[in-house]
Chain A
Amino acid sequence: RKEVEQDPGPFNVPEGATVAFNCTYSNSASQSFFWYRQDCRKEPKLLMSVYSSGNEDGRFTAQLNRASQYISLLIRDSKLSDSATYLCVVKKPGRRALTFGSGTRLQVQP
């Protein structure tokens, strides 16, 4: 089982739609969780952290479900500019490095 698993997509949604992605992680002791965004042929950038109590930033909401070992990202009122690959990132205890998922591709269509 991969350490961090994501549905590669693509998720094709119309502008204004609400879309959600999940990401599962294998190590139950994982401590910290994040979503990064990577535009086509660009570098990854931090989108938001995922806290135990959930985290909301404008149209973006991130949730953590420790019991089922997954995190989610919800995007409301999708914009064309939201088209990108969303990378799930996990920090495991005792590891200095972050573990990146392979990403979920979102394509918002006019």
Chain B
Amino acid sequence: GAVVSQHPSRVICKSGTSVKIECRSLDFQATTMFWYRQFPKQSLMLMATSNEGSKATYEQGVEKDKFLINHASLTLSTLTVTSAHPEDSSFYICSASLAGNTIYFGEGSWLTVV
């Protein structure tokens, strides 16, 4: 079946630095990818919809200048957390949409900002 790969699975970064998380669709072309985050004991929340070749669409309350999303090709979307702070520590997960509304998720990335 379709596979979505996310990297890195765990990352620790210093406060004030930036960190990039990659989401790749390995065996299909994904014109649309989605980025979610989950704080401890809370639900997965949609952050943004990433469209290949155009700007991402951000959900209300998500800072577009802080969470930079780039979808440069049909198989790769990246999420860059800029000037990270400890409150950005969270679980980030991407998903990619295949024709027919089937959605495949990556493995998720644990970000810890110290």
A and B bound?
no
